Amino acid sequence: MTMVTRRAFLQGAASAAGFALAAPYISRSYAQGSSGVVNIFAWAGYINDEMLSAFEKATGIKASFTPYGTNDELLNQLRANNGAGFDIIWPTVDRVPNYVEFGLVQPIDESKVDVDKCLPSAWSNSENLGAVIDGKRYQVPTDWGTEAIAFDKDQAPLEYGTASYGDIWKPEMAGKATVRAHSALVGLGLWLEAEGKLPMPMVEAFKSEENMTAIYDVIIEEAIARKANIAQFWNNENEAQGAFRVNGCAIGQTWDSTAAALAREGLPVGFIAPKEGALTWMEGVAIPSGAENVEQAYAFINWFLTPEAGAMYTNATSINSTAVGAADLISDEAKAFFAAAYPGDALDKLWWWPIQESWFVAKRNEYQDRFLSA
């Protein structure tokens, strides 16, 4: 599994530093799609009115935004529409092969993408994480983030180096934890691996059904035995935030954006990478096979890779942009969140999601349902 860290991102971007400091310009793709509309189907909270307005001002293109909450919701909607209805979608890179398998996305025409706007290491590493299949690219990497440990600083204080996925499952956290069922099994698995309780490393579960069964049978038994810790399961951003905001949770395995949003509200919620490694994903934009506004879609891709758009996105979500120069423009608040979440050697320990093929997703959902219904 290829490892990518922010250090690698920044090292890969070093040669492009001159570009990062250059004044914004109107790309060739803006000129190609300088009118019309683009229909965006993206994660809830990823696009706001400020971004839509800035995009229209820069390009002359009107954008409409429809939110979704999960990768499966996106995939099911695209399958129901036979790849039509939207011009831009936002899958995680490890799930892109699912869309290619069902013919739901079209190959990216790299001649229409301002590739030098994307951090070089993000572009190259995405090839091995799912963006390139049979030599064809289907996704442009735009951002990366993590799922790690959100915690109430008063009720369940944690520190880097000792913080662990195991903290979620401690007896004293009974009735105080929130997790997403399928990814919680991976986090629990990484803890069990570190404790020497898995038959093989967690990553091997993604390589064959036989491996997955051997590993997940151990994980599901442990998860069910400790299920009393879970006060609420979450499936999307609103549910994860609600677990802390209104349902009394003190700890959870959540996205970085969840903890950042709660902290902005003034709640005493922190976010920390566990010693086993934060679950890390790369995302990007893809163009559905039935897109009607393809040139406008490329215009959006190139706009989103500008330093200004990348910083606007990170400031709104606390998710890291792959746009060259964006890190130089983000707010002090976003910089402080990143520093607190990934101190020490946390970036070297990031655990990147392997490609989740269809067989894995189907079997993963079976274990998830066993956990939920236990």
Mean pLDDT value across residues 157-186: 98
> Is pLDDT at 147 greater than 80 in this prediction?
yes
Q: Has residue 265 been placed in a domain?
A: yes
**At 166, is the secondary structure helix, strand, or coil?**
helix
Spatial separation of the C-alpha atoms in residues 88 and 353, rounded to whole Å = 23
Residue 267 and residue 211 share a domain: yes
Query: CB-based contacts of 233: which residues, under 8 Å, 6+ apart?
Result: 178, 179, 180, 181, 239, 372
Specify the length of the chain in residues: 374
| 267 in any annotated domain | yes
**Does 39 map to a domain?**
yes
The answer for residues whose C-beta is within 8 angstroms of residue 190's C-beta and 6 or more apart is 165, 202, 274, 276, 277, 351
> For the residues 128-155, what does the mean pLDDT come to?
97
> Is the pLDDT score of 322 beyond 80?
yes
* Predicted pLDDT at 35: 74
Q: For residues 255 and 133, state if they share a domain.
A: no
User: Are the CB atoms for 123 and 38 separated by under 8 Å?
Assistant: no
- Residue 185 tokens, joined: 């099994």
Question: Which helix (H) or strand (E) covers residue 125, if one does?
Answer: helix 120-126
State the average pLDDT over residues 88-111. 97
Same domain, 205 and 127: no
Question: Under a CB-based contact definition with an 8 Å cutoff, are residues 138 and 117 in contact?
Answer: no
pLDDT surpasses 70 at 27: no
Angle formed at CA 158 by CA 154 and CA 162, multiple of 5 degrees: 160
Say how far apart CA 365 and CA 187 lie, in whole Å: 16
**pLDDT per residue over 39-81, tens digit each?**
999 999 999 999 999 999 999 999 999 999 999 999 999 999 9
Q: What mean pLDDT do residues 287-292 have?
A: 98
**Which among 291, 290, 251 has a CA at the least distance from the CA of 271?**
251
pLDDT at residue number 98: 95
Say if residue 16 is in the same domain as residue 36: yes
- In the predicted model, is pLDDT for residue 140 greater than 80? yes
Residue 1 lies in a domain: no
**Judgement on whether residues 96 and 233 belong to the same structural domain of the protein:** no
20-25 own/partner pairs: CB under 8 Å, 24+ apart: 20/307, 20/324, 20/325, 20/328, 21/325, 24/306, 24/307, 24/308
pLDDT for residue 301: 98
What residues form DSSP beta bridges with 89?
41, 286
Segment 315-325 shows an average pLDDT of 95
pLDDT exceeds cutoff 70 at 17: no
286 in the same domain as 188: no
Residues 356 and 211 in one domain: yes
| Residue 125 sits in the same domain as residue 240 | no
Do 121 and 23 have their domain in common?
yes
pLDDT > 90 fraction of the chain, expressed in percent and rounded: 90
Domain that holds residue 41: 6-144+280-347
pLDDT at 22 over 50: no
129 and 151 assigned to the same domain: no
Q: Packing angle between helix 294-304 and helix 49-59, nearest 10 degrees?
A: 110
pLDDT band at residue 2 under the 50/70/90 scheme: very low
Number of domains within the chain: 2
pLDDT digits (tens, 9 = 90+) for 205-257: 999 999 999 999 999 999 999 999 999 999 999 999 999 999 999 999 999 99
% of the chain exceeding 70 in pLDDT: 91
Residue 291 domain flag:
yes
CA angle 112, 25, 294 (to 5 degrees): 30
* CA-to-CA dists, residue 1 to 11, 137, 140, 247, 352, angstroms: 20, 19, 19, 37, 8
Strands 251-255 and 177-179: parallel
Q: Are residues 83 and 118 in the same domain?
A: yes
Q: What is the CATH number of the domain that holds 80?
A: 3.40.190.10
Residue 20 pLDDT exceeds 90: no
- Cα–Cα distance measured from residue 374 to residue 220, given in angstroms and rounded to the nearest whole number: 10
Q: How many whole angstroms separate alpha carbon 57 and alpha carbon 53?
A: 6
Average of per-residue pLDDT values in the chain: 91
Is residue 218 a part of any domain in this protein? yes
Closest to 300 in 3D by CA, of 115, 122, 9, 34? 34
Same domain for 49 and 111, yes or no, is: yes
Closest of 106, 8, 112, 31 to residue 352, by C-alpha = 8
What pLDDT score was predicted for residue 34?
Answer: 61
In a domain, 364, yes or no: yes
User: Which sign, positive or negative, has the C-alpha torsion 175, 179, 181, 185?
Assistant: negative
| Per-residue confidence band for 13, with pLDDT thresholds at 50, 70 and 90 | very low
Position 26 scores a pLDDT of 40
CA distances from 17 to 12, 116, 144, 148 (A): 10, 11, 20, 31
Instruction: Measure the CA–CA gap between 10 and 307, rounded to whole angstroms.
Output: 14
- For the segment 362-372, what is each residue's pLDDT rounded down to a tens digit? 999 999 999 99
Residue 330, pLDDT > 80, answer yes
Label residue 277 left, alpha or beta by phi (over 0 means left) and psi (-120 to 50 means alpha): left
Instruction: Give a yes or no: residue 270 inside a domain.
Output: yes
Q: Compute the average pLDDT of residues 279-289.
A: 97
What is the model's pLDDT at position 28?
A: 46
